Amino acid sequence: MPETNFTVEEANAIEQARRLARYRKMRDVFVETFGPPGKRTPHGALILEELEKFTNWKTTIREQDTTGQTDIYRTGIKEGRREVMQAIHNLIQWRESDEQQP
C-alpha cells in the first residue's frame, strides 16, 4: 500500500468528498431516469408504478403462514423489497442540504 502524507482528518475529508460525489452522481442518474419528484419521466413513472405495486412500499409487511403466525422468511423478503423501493425514492429526493446521505 503506498504511503500517504495525509493526516487522519485529511484522509477522512477526502473519503467524505468521494462519497458525496458518488451520491451526487447516483442521484443525478436516478433523476434523469425517473424524473424529479412530481415531474416523472414517462418511462420512469411506469417503472416506479410497477415497482411500487410489486414492493408494497407504502404498507406494513406482515406475511402469515397457514396457522396465522408471522412467516418471518416471507416477511423478510417482502420487507427487503420495500426497503429497496424506499431507497430509490430517498435517492431521487435527496438534496445536498439534507443532513443524512441516502
The kind and range of the H/E element at 82 are helix 72-93
**44-86 pLDDT per residue, tens:** 999 999 999 999 888 877 788 888 898 888 888 888 999 999 9
What residues does each domain of the chain span?
8-93
What pLDDT, on the 0 to 100 scale, is given for residue 99? Answer: 62
Q: Grid coordinates 443532513 are at which residue?
A: 99
Confirm if 80 and 54 have CB atoms less than 8 A apart. Answer: no
Global model pTM greater than 0.85: no
